[in-house]
Amino acid sequence: MDLYLPIAGMSVNALVIVLLGAGVGFLSGMLGVGGGFLTTPLLIFYGVPPAVAVASSATQITGASVSGALAHARRKGVDFKMGAVMVAGGLAGSVAGSFLFELLQALGQIDTTISIVYVLMLLSIGGLMLRDSVRALRPRATPRAAPRRHNRFVAALPWRVRFYRSGLYISPIAPFLLGLAVGILTVIMGIGGGFILVPAMIYLLGMAASVVVGTSLFQILFVTAATTLLHATQSKTVDIVLAALLLVGGVIGAQYGASAARRLPAEKLRLVLALVVLAFGIRLALQLTYRPGEIFTVDPA
């Protein structure tokens, strides 16, 4: 069944979009990633304009983050004080990112910018994930647990306060700046930022692992909601029909992904995700750089 997307200005097969959302949802449920960094490239490959893909992907992430944040909150897995600081930074980043998005849109460079940033991000993240997954699969002696500590730069920042749930005594400037950076990326790229937030919260801030995922989802929920509002009112690139189809597929796929995660080894799952991310990055790079032999071809009717 074909549906017309009013903002994208094109007709799509509704089943294909639902299956696309289900595939990303399956990977999200299986591997614990938000999936936004996969949804946008897939929509671009399908022919959806990058600006619309970014805005609609952010809308989908907002809906998908609600249940996750609530579940972690019930288990006391959210540091609301830390989350509030990161949300403040994320909202500031969303506003800054929306002005940058509008500027690039006015210059006619938004689609190219989104594609280039995605290529760099996917190849970098995919390469790091592949390296870590290969190391994890190698046989080795039982590693000793490393002490949890935050980055030296973070430790040197002034005005430190206590974040009791996270077990930290650090300056709120660090989580604010982290939220700011993720807020800008959310607007420009349509990602939730969980794959950036989670390792940064562990290795830069030194947060307790028990509250990292829940606090990340708490921040993502508010920032993607603000991003959706900004895109809808300023750039007007949110296609609610597209977002609804993605959300339906994502919810279904996530359930099956979570079930599969309990049966498959975590190291092999990370290796699969790394290969998928690298494949997306290479495909998008080829789309940007490949020049066909004949740009225009005329065939007899």
What per-residue string of b and e applies to 164-185 under the rule 16 or more CB within 10 Å gives b?
Answer: ebbebebbbebbbbbbbbbbbb
**Rounded Cα gap, residues 186 and 209, in angstroms:** 23
Q: Count of domains in the chain?
A: 1
Q: Closest by alpha carbon to 37, among 153, 120, 130, 161?
A: 120
What predicted TM-score, i.e. pTM, was given to this entire model?
0.67
Supply 64's token pair. 């998908």
CA distance 238 to 218: 22
249 located within any domain: yes
Q: Which domain holds residue 250?
A: 11-134+148-288
Q: Is residue 4 part of a domain?
A: no
Answer whether residue 92 is part of any domain: yes
For residue 296, being part of any structural domain is answered with no
Write down the pLDDT at residue 146: 47
Q: Is 139 within a domain?
A: no
115: closest CA among 54, 169, 176? 54
* Dist CA 9 CA 15 (whole Å): 18
Sign of CA dihedral 112, 57, 253, 244: negative
pLDDT in tens, the chain (301 residues): 677 777 777 888 888 888 888 877 776 666 555 566 777 778 887 888 877 887 777 776 766 667 667 767 777 778 888 888 888 988 898 888 888 878 877 877 777 777 787 778 778 777 877 777 777 777 664 555 444 555 677 777 788 888 887 778 888 888 898 888 888 877 777 666 666 777 777 777 877 777 877 787 788 778 877 777 877 777 777 778 888 888 888 777 766 765 665 676 666 666 776 787 788 778 777 777 766 555 555 556 5
Assigned domain for 140 exists:
no
Evaluate whether residue 301 is within a structural domain. Answer: no
Reported as type and span, the H/E element at residue 168 is strand 168-170
Specify which residues 13 forms β-bridges with.
2
Q: Is 85 part of a structural domain of the chain?
A: yes
